[in-house]
Amino acid sequence: MLQAPQSGDDIVTEQEQEWALETLAVRTGHRRTAEQEHSEPIFATSSFVFSSAAEAAARFSGDSQGNIYSRFTNPTVRTFEERLAALEGGECCVATASGMSAILATCMGLLQHGDHIVSSRSVFGSTTMLFNKYLARFGIATDYAILTDLDDWRQRIRPNTRMLFIETPSNPLIEIGDIRALADLAHAHDCLLVVDNCFCTPVLQRPLELGADIVIHSATKYLDGQGRAVGGAVVGDRKRVGEEVFGVLRTAGPTMSPFAAWIFLKGLETLSLRMQAHASGAQRLAEWLEAQPSVARVYYPGLANHPQHALAKRQQTLPGGIVAFDVHGGRDAAWRVIDRTRMLSITANLGDTKTTITHPATTTHARLTPEQRADARIGEGLLRVAVGLEAFDDIRDDLVRGLAGA
Ligand SMILES: *Cc1c(COP(=O)(O)O)cnc(C)c1O
C-alpha cells in the first residue's frame, strides 16, 4: 500500500519531542538541502526523476519511499504537513487545495454508501451543502444536532452512523462543544469524531489530545493568517489519514500547491504570537462592547456570562479571536453599524491581520430559512467581528463610529 511519505517516527525526532509548540512551529519538517538554505525552499516541480528503472518501479510499488509526482508527493507540501501534524500532535497530515476539499477527502476516504453522519447544526455553510447536496447523492445521509446538547447527539446516532462532525467554537455565536464528551459518545458507537479546528488552531485547542480522531483545517484562515491563499489539511493517524485520506488525494487530486504550502508553513511560524494577539484584542473588544448601550448582547467565551465559559477554559488555552454581538434595532441598525465603519473590512472572511465585520443573517447564513435562523438564534441584529492585528484603539474607534448608527 502506498502511503503518504511521512511517518510519526520520521517526522518527530527525539529532540523535537521535547520542543514546545512555538519551536515546532518554526523548525519542524525542513530537511536542509545541499544548498544549505536557511528558509524553506519552494519545490516548484511537478515530477521527480529516479536514478534507475528499478528505483522507479520500487517507488511506484511503495517499496521505496520518496517523491514521485506533486499531486501526492512534494517536499514543500510535506514540510507544511509535518509541521502541522507536529502542532496538532497527530501522526500524519495530508494537505489539500482548500478547507472544503479537506472535508470532502475525509468523507470519501473514511465513509461509504449507506453510512450516516451526525453533524453539528452550527457548521460552515458549505459543509452543510456538501453533506446535504453532494454526499446524499452517493448514499451518505446526514442529521444535525445541537452542538451543546449531548442528549440531542445521543438520540440522533443510528446503527449506521460512522462520523460525528463538529466545529468548536461555532460560527457565528461562538458556542463551545465538549470535545471529550463527544469523542466518548462517538467511540461508544463505533464512530469517528471529526473536529474542524479552524477557529482555534492548535495554539488554542488540540482536539486529538481530547479524544477526537481527525482534525480538519481551512488553512485559508488563521494558519496563513494574512489572507493570501486558499488551502486545507487533515490531521490524524497513519492508517486513516496517511493511507485512506491520502489515497483520495493521490487519486482524485485536490492537492495543495507548493507555492501555497510555502505561504502556510511560513504562516505557522508566527501562529502562536498571532493567536495570542487576536485573542487579547477580542477579549478587550468583548468587554468594551458589553458596556455599550446600543449593544443588546455579546457572545464571547472569554466573558463570565458565556454559557460555556468554564468548558472553554478547560478545553482551550484562550477564548479566540472572534466576537459576535446583537445590536438593538434589527437588520437596519446592524447594516448601519457596518456601513458607518471606515476601517473594518466588510467581508465574510476571518483569520486575517485585518479586522473583518459580517452580518451573518444576510451573508454566511442567508441560505438558511428564517425559521432555521431563528432556531439557531442568528438574529437580524447580529454582527460578527473577527479581530485582526491593528491597534486595539483603532478597532474600537471604528466601532464607536459604527455603533453611533445603531
Ligand atoms: C472557511 C472555512 C471552511 C472552508 O475552508 P476553505 O478553505 O474556504 O475551503 C471550513 N470550515 C470553517 C470553519 C471555515 O471557516
CA–centroid distance, 280 to ligand 1, in Å, is 23
- Going along the chain from its start, the domains and CATH numbers come out as 16-269 (3.40.640.10), 273-404 (3.90.1150.10)
CA–centroid distance, 98 to ligand 1, in Å, is 8
pLDDT of residue 1: 45
Predicted structure pTM score = 0.95
Distance CA 333, CA 336 (A): 5
* Ligand 1 atom at minimal distance to the Cα of residue 232: 7
Tell me the pLDDT of the chain averaged across its residues.
Answer: 95
* Ligand 1 atom at minimal distance to the Cα of residue 199: 13
- Residue 125 confidence (pLDDT) above 80: yes
The CB of 124 under 6 Å from ligand 1? The reply is yes
pLDDT of residue 9: 44
Q: What is the pLDDT of residues 313-364, one digit of tens each?
A: 999 999 999 999 999 999 999 999 999 999 999 999 999 999 999 999 999 9
Q: What is the pLDDT of residues 393-406, one digit of tens each?
A: 999 999 999 999 88
Beta strand pairing status for 232-236 and 214-218?
antiparallel
CA–centroid distance, 364 to ligand 1, in Å, is 11
Q: What is the pLDDT of residues 269-325, one digit of tens each?
A: 999 999 999 999 999 999 999 999 999 999 999 999 999 999 999 999 999 999 999
The CB of 100 under 6 Å from ligand 1? The reply is yes
The CB of 172 under 6 Å from ligand 1? The reply is no
Q: What is the pLDDT of residues 34-69, one digit of tens each?
A: 999 999 999 999 999 999 999 999 999 989 999 999
Which grid coordinates are listed for 259?
Answer: 507555492
Q: What is the mean pLDDT of residues 95-117?
A: 98
Q: CA dist 282 to 108, 171, 297, Å?
A: 36, 15, 15
The CB of 232 under 6 Å from ligand 1? The reply is yes
Mutation to probe ligand 1, out of 119, 122, 124 (largest number of atoms < 8 A from CB): 124
CA–centroid distance, 344 to ligand 1, in Å, is 21
At which residue does the C-alpha cell 520518496 appear? 66
76 band by pLDDT with thresholds 50, 70 and 90: very high
The CB of 165 under 6 Å from ligand 1? The reply is no
